Structure 1
């Protein structure tokens, strides 16, 4: 089924002005929920890929937020954001994709919860979005990490790795994963994230609370899209 109202590709094809473009890609709550449902197969859904095209999604929020802080926007930033660099065949990405289902079922058993699949959730601006790995109840998102470099590590070793995302058993607040999960909670309006790390030796869960101070980043991300990214999409 066609969703002409939210495709950035289509909005770009009939581009007249920035103002009209931003009117075109706005989404209603009903559309947001419909798209999230229709894209729940994620990688296996053509609509998921189409909805992600030309939008900023939560896995890249950290990159953009640190670029904004430094006020430096190198070409490499845009090639990553515009998907010029394809990740799908990278061993580490493949490892994560291959083990996500296992990680989810081990997490479900450990925490005695049920994870519901979900797709991409757009922000009402239509400019940014987030695809969590699942939902729990009506107030939590789930983010699964199966780190390739730690594939055979004990969980204690993962936590002790200074170069990974943890510090004192918490997510480092300047780490891309922190921005990713805060972005998910903000866009889906949920207050908790189960941040799940899986290795062949076990699974562990960190509960991350929504940080309302983080929300100001949403405005900055949308501004970045309007002032920097759209021009690259048009060129």
Structure 2
């Protein structure tokens, strides 16, 4: 797959799960949703559920699932707050939507970030938002103290 095709797919899939092309391009590709299962399956006898997921990823909306709904609603708020904070700390800070990006070297691998940010002081970076449903009632300070948290406190309040 050439770079032009990869970038075209990236551009037309920026609405992610709302995009039919986004769903189509995920077929047969390893994404973060399935990488754990791929790495832990018996390659001589792969799990049928894994094969089904890889060959026919669901295009059904999961918005009715409370954790999914929570994540989608809070992701927008988190991205907005992140952008507002970073604009005060970085020169020429900008954020944009991210589409489905296929690896040129290994085209069976693809990923969709929540956003892409850039600034003149640090260049480009990928933004991935996590809104853990299990901590929806927790404060940030409470969440940081949880050993399962993906955030590490640096000792400052």
Provide TM-score, normalisation by structure 1. 0.52
**In the superposition, relative to structure 1, how do residues 53 and 77 fare at CA in structure 2: closer, same or farther (>3 Å)?**
closer
Q: How far apart are residue 74 of structure 1 and its match?
A: 4.0
CA apart distance, 1:164:
3.9
Distance 1:74 1:63 in 2: 9
* CA distance, structure 2, for counterparts of residue 72 and residue 142 of structure 1: 36
Cα distance in 2 for residues equivalent to 1:95 and 1:111: 24
**In structure 2, distance between residues paired with 1:77 and 1:158:** 32
Q: Is the 8 A contact 2:41 2:47 kept in 1?
A: no
1:134 maps onto 2:109 in alignment: no
> Relative to 1, partners in 2 of residues 1:160 and 1:73: Cα closer, same or farther, differing over 3 Å?
farther
Query: 1:115 and 1:165, CA in 2 relative to 1: closer, same or farther beyond 3 A?
Result: same
Q: Does 1:116 align with 2:96?
A: yes
Change (3 A) 1:158 1:41: same
Displacement after TM superposition at 1:134 (Å): 0.7
Q: Helix, strand or coil: the match of 2:142?
A: helix
Unaligned runs of 5+ in 1: 1-26, 171-235
Partner of residue 90, structure 2: none
Query: Larger % of helix: which?
Result: 1
Match of 2:81 among 95, 98, 106: 106
- For residue 136 of structure 1, give the secondary structure of its aligned residue in structure 2: strand
Root mean square deviation of aligned Cα: 2.8
Which structure 2 residues correspond to residues 117-196 of structure 1 after superposition, within 5 A? 117-124=97-104, 125-137=106-118, 138-166=123-151, 169=152
**Are positions 1:94 and 2:75 aligned together?**
no
Using the alignment, how far apart are the partners of 2:142 and 2:53 within structure 1? 30
Deviation sequence 1:170-191 (CA, Å, 0-9, x none):
8xxxxxxxxxxxxxxxxxxxxx
List structure 1 segments (4+ residues) > 6 angstroms apart after TM superposition: none
Give the Cα–Cα distance (whole angstroms) in 1 for the partners of residues 61 and 36 of structure 2.
17
Task: Sort the Cα spacing of 1:152 and 1:100 in 2 relative to 1 into closer, same or farther, 3 A.
Answer: same
SS at match of 1:40: coil
